[in-house]
Amino acid sequence: MTDRRSFLHMTLVGAAGILVAGCDRISQTMWGPDVLGKAEGLNRRVQALLSPSSSMAKEYTEADISPTFHPNGTTMPTTPAYRALMANDFRDYRLQVGGMVNRPAMLSMDDLKRLDLRTQITRHDCVEGWSAIGKWQGTALSAVLDHVGVDPKARYVMFHCFDEMDEDTPYYESIDITEARHPQTLLAFALNDKPLPVPNGAPLRLRIGRQLGYKQAKYLARIELVSSFEDIGDGQGGYWEDQGYEWYAGI
């Protein structure tokens, strides 16, 4: 398993390396050394024009659901905290919600289910070149944000996960408040009418409709509202972003 993971890791980092190398060449010949930073900002602005905050990801029908939903990345977290929860079928699980909020909370699965249930059939696209259509059931993240009351100065929602990628480097991700309040942004606990399987992120994962697979954080432990993510990890807003992937991973 370690071998498989390091292989995957090498493949992904390799692919990112090629992209970055390509951009570097352009930067030296055309735009100067800061092109990556500028391109990223430009990408976000173009994306905002092409898909305004209200645009919806395509939803599919039951007939479109993929026969299997290929698990990827971590498929079995090894951290003791996660293993203890798993041993008891996640009955003691609580999602921690904190940071720039008025009422920090520890939400049980039942608390989450009482807030705002949604079901949607959407497609997941991974940068490694595969897609899968799944039926997700979960709580709208916007309802969770309303429940805790967000400080108007908060700009991002950080997702901290139970699984560690390299030693002591937990998987994490972030989205902005607009994406967090999008009606298709869910904290999902069911896939294809069954409790979310462990390989797909049990007991709770993020599902956003309009961005790539690596944004869809699995094994959620904690949500944190922040005004900046500069001081978190290597400062790029997510585990894969810290390896060179784009923060706004529009499909």
- Binding footprint of ligand MTE on the chain (CB under 6 A): 69-74, 126, 161, 163, 171, 199-201, 213-214, 216-219
Stretch of 90-98, 106-114, 122-130, 193-201 lying at the interface with Mo ion (CB under 5 A): 122-130
With respect to ligand MTE, which residue has the nearer C-beta, 112 or 191? 191
Q: How far is the CB of 251 from ligand MTE (least distance, A)?
A: 12
Q: How far is the CB of 27 from ligand MTE (least distance, A)?
A: 26
Q: How far is the CB of 231 from ligand MTE (least distance, A)?
A: 20
From ligand MTE, Mo ion, none, which one binds at residue 219 (CB under 5 to 8 Å depending on kind)? ligand MTE
User: Does the protein bind Mo ion through residue 126 (CB under 5 A)?
Assistant: yes
Q: How far is the CB of 45 from ligand MTE (least distance, A)?
A: 25
With respect to ligand MTE, which residue has the nearer C-beta, 71 or 151? 71
From ligand MTE, Mo ion, none, which one binds at residue 246 (CB under 5 to 8 Å depending on kind)? none
With respect to ligand MTE, which residue has the nearer C-beta, 151 or 195? 195
Phi, psi of 221 (to 5 degrees): -105, -40
- Say if residues 150 and 140 touch (Cβ distance below 8 Å): no
Phi, psi of 160 (to 5 degrees): -105, 130
Q: Count Cβ atoms below 10 Å from residue 222 Cβ, excluding itself.
A: 18
| Peptide bond just before 52 cis, omega within 30 deg | no
With respect to ligand MTE, which residue has the nearer C-beta, 142 or 241? 241
Q: How far is the CB of 20 from ligand MTE (least distance, A)?
A: 18
Site of tokens 């967090």 = 180
Beta bridge partners of 213: none
With respect to ligand MTE, which residue has the nearer C-beta, 99 or 170? 170
233-240, Cβ contacts within 8 angstroms, sequence gap of 24 or more: 233/169, 233/172, 237/156, 237/173, 237/174, 238/172, 238/173, 238/174, 238/214, 239/165, 239/169, 239/170, 239/171, 239/172, 239/173, 239/214, 240/12, 240/16, 240/214
Q: Count Cβ atoms below 10 Å from residue 64 Cβ, excluding itself.
A: 14
From ligand MTE, Mo ion, none, which one binds at residue 120 (CB under 5 to 8 Å depending on kind)? none
Distance of CA 117 to the CA centre of its chain: 19
User: Does the protein bind Mo ion through residue 213 (CB under 5 A)?
Assistant: yes
- Residues forming contacts to Mo ion in the complex (CB under 5 A) are 126, 213-214
